[in-house]
Structures are given as structure tokens and as C-alpha cells.
Structure 1
Amino acid sequence: MIFATEIVLVILCAVLILVILLQSGRSAGLSGVIAGGSNQVTNRRAKGLDPFLGKVTVVLAILLFLLTLTIAFLFHHLQ
């Protein structure tokens, strides 16, 4: 039981890392450093996949936390 949940945890970690790497940065690279973050001044909304990837990141992080607690609970009570 613990082994199966650990495998799911590893897969969930890999998916979470992939989703985080797919997101675009807040400063838009070097131009954000030079311009001083002009995107924050104009109050533009994020377009494309960024809002979706942000929500997926939150859901995956919550699932990762709950699965880690489940593994700790099972490990403590099965030994």
C-alpha cells in the first residue's frame, strides 16, 4: 500500500515540476529587469495557458501535500 502511494507521489512530483516549468515568468525575461516591470504598471491580464497552469499548479500542490500526509500516516500506523 505504501509502495503504491510512493509511486503516485513520484509521478505527481514530476507532473508538478513540469507544470511549473511550463509557466511563463512574471518579469518576461531580461526586458522585465531593464524596463522595471512595466507589465505591473499597465495592469494587463494574463492570457493563454498561464491562468490554467496556475490553477493546475495549486491543485497539484494540494494533492502532493495530502498524499505526503497520507504516506506519513500509513507509515506510522503500519509499523
Structure 2
Amino acid sequence: MLHTIVLTLLIIVSIALIFVVLLQSGKSAGLSGAISGGAEQLFGKQKARGLDLILHRLTIILSVLFFLLTISLAYLGV
């Protein structure tokens, strides 16, 4: 019973995580954009505002929830 509930929650969180990641706008294209985007994220003065901030925080929450549910499902499967 508990295994089914955790599995159902894991599927819902997985779909929500995919949806939230796809909704986020890309910072730059290519490898150089990824490097400069990471540097801007760490050292930049501009902070995310509005919808980007909400999506960023929601991605963090859903990813942590995903890992916790996955670990608990692996524990219950033993």
C-alpha cells in the first residue's frame, strides 16, 4: 500500500519537474553560453525576478522531493 502511494507521488513529481524545467527560459545557447551563464549566476548582480524566480525555486523543491521519494521507494522495495 505504502509502496503504491510513494510510486504514484514519484510519477506526479517527475511529470511536474519535467514541466517546470521545460517552462524555464534558456539563458544562452551552446557551451560558451553555459559557462558564462554559470558565471553570471554566481557573480552577477542581476537576480532572477518574477516567474523565473518562482520556476527556479519550484525546480529545487521538486528535485529534492524527487530524490527523497526515489530513495524511499528503493528502501521500501528491499
Is 1:73 the counterpart of 2:52 in the alignment? no
| Structure 1 residue runs without a partner (length 5+) | none
Aligned to 1:13: 14
Q: Distance in 2 between matches of 1:15 and 1:50?
A: 16
The equivalent position to 1:64 in structure 2, one of 49, 58, 66, is 66
TM-score normalised by L of structure 2: 0.72
Structure 2, unaligned runs of 5 or more: none
Residue 19 of structure 1, CA deviation:
0.5
Q: Secondary structure at the match of 1:24?
A: coil
2-structure distance, mates of 1:61, 1:44: 24
- Pairwise CA distance, 1:46: 3.0
Runs of 4+ more than 4 Å apart: none
Name the count of aligned residue pairs: 67
CA distance in 2, matches of 1:17, 1:51: 17
- Which one has the largest radius of gyration? 1
Q: Give the superposition deviation at 1:43.
A: 5.1
> Identity over aligned residues, as a percent?
39
